[in-house]
């Protein structure tokens, strides 16, 4: 019997591309996409779609029972920059949704959970270079606090109730398919759009702000690989460090100039600078590479080529219509 999967938050940046990948692996009818509204028609129209409120236990449970779901990917969350504007909303959404899914697993309604954590769990006292798997975590944002607390609860539910919960600490995710969703690393997506459309970009972080990043294809591969790994091989039940590339806005701008020589960048740091300053510059993900053979495929050069090629294609199609 094939796995029956529910993706909560399927219309978001990662959720939308994860939906596509999982449907290609498990079949359209076995992957149920859900979100609180219909704001991504590609996801809504590409297979079974349900309106599910991640903060409503009953809403999730009804969908689980309707489709006999055994695995949930909980991708709904309020991200770092947006969370700082609405701290209590971020806390409620990020924590309530996790408890609902963990409790469904604890009570035997589902068998497996994927829940994403983030480099936001780290704080200003964390070692910034090659941040270890186990280290000081004193997050300074509401988003980071919810992710740190969530990691502790995931490990607790695994140890106490045997819940098969798996997690990745995502770095900044870069994709050409969806627009930025309110994160501090979103400049690294927006910069490509502005480079093509305007030839210039004003960055909300300083030029020397180095952060861990990852191309979306690698993030999706990491997620799928972890969920397909043998449970016995997994030594981390809080959340795995994963890494790919680290760079500054200035270095990324230089890479873009190789393709668009007239591109220019300016810097006007805002409140997101303080968030970025509290995060690592690079991540040690040796445990993930050892436990489930994680490896990334995209360096900055390959990623930039992919971003600019696909965004230019989308723009020319729009212009043709």
Rounded Cα distance, 82 and 57, in Å:
24
Catalytic residue among 67, 143, 201, 240: 143
Tally of residues, the chain: 321
Q: Rounded to an integer, what distance in angstroms lies between the CA atom of residue 295 and that of residue 284?
A: 12
User: What is the rounded CA–CA span in Å between residue 57 and residue 103?
Assistant: 9
Would you call 57 a catalytic residue per the annotation? no
Q: How far apart are CA 273 and CA 40, in angstroms?
A: 30
Query: Rounded to 5 degrees, what are φ and ψ at 47?
Result: 175, -160
Show the tokens assigned to 207: 């030029």
Four-CA torsion 96, 47, 12, 244, nearest 10 degrees = 110
Q: Whole-angstrom Cα distance, residue 261 to residue 198?
A: 13
Using DSSP, state whether 66 is helix, strand or coil. Answer: helix
Residue 260: which of 320, 200, 175 has the closest Cα?
200
Between the two ends of the chain, the Cα-to-Cα distance in Å is: 44
Tokens 């030594």 -> residue: 235
Decide the pairing of beta strands 211-215 and 245-247: antiparallel
Whole-angstrom Cα Rg for the chain: 19
Sheet harboring 211-215: ordered strands across? 172-174, 211-215, 245-247
Backbone angles phi, psi at 295, to 5 degrees: -155, 150
Give me the half-sphere count of Cα atoms (radius 13 Å) on the Cβ side of residue 17. Answer: 19
* Strand 168-170 to 117-118 pairing: parallel
321 class by beta-carbon count within 10 Å (0-12 exposed, 13-18 middle, 19+ buried): exposed
Which positions are annotated as active-site residues?
Answer: 143
């Amino acid at each position: 019997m094939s796995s029956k999967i529910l993706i909560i938050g399927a219309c978001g940046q990662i959720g939308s591309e994860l939906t596509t990948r999982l449907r290609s692996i498990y079949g359209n009818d076995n992957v149920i996409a859900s979100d609180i509204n219909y704001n991504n028609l590609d996801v809504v129209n590409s297979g079974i779609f349900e309106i599910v409120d991640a903060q409503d236990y009953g809403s999730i449970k009804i969908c689980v029972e309707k489709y006999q779901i055994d695995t949930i990917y909980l991708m709904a969350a309020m991200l770092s920059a947006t969370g700082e504007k609405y701290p209590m909303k971020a806390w409620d959404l990020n924590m309530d949704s996790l408890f609902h899914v963990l409790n469904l697993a604890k009570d035997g309604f589902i068998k497996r959970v994927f829940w994403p954590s983030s480099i936001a769990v780290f704080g200003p006292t964390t070692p910034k270079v090659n941040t270890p798997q186990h280290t000081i975590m004193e997050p300074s944002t509401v988003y980071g606090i919810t992710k740190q607390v969530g990691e502790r609860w995931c490990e607790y539910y695994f140890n106490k109730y045997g819940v098969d919960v798996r997690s990745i600490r995502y770095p900044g995710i870069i994709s050409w398919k969806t627009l930025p969703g309110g994160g501090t690393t979103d400049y690294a997506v927006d910069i490509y759009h502005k480079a093509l459309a305007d030839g210039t970009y004003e960055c909300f972080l300083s030029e020397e702000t180095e952060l861990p990043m990852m191309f979306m294809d690698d993030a999706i591969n990491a997620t799928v690989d972890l969920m397909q790994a043998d449970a016995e091989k997994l030594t981390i039940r809080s959340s795995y460090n994963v890494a790919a590339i680290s760079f500054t806005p200035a270095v990324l701008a230089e890479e873009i100039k190789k393709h668009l020589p007239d591109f220019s960048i300016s810097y006007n740091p805002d409140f997101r600078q303080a968030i970025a300053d509290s995060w690592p510059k690079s991540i040690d993900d040796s445990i993930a590479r050892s436990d489930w053979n994680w490896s990334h495929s995209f360096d900055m050069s390959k990623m930039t080529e992919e971003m600019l090629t696909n965004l230019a294609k989308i723009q020319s199609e729009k212009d043709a219509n």
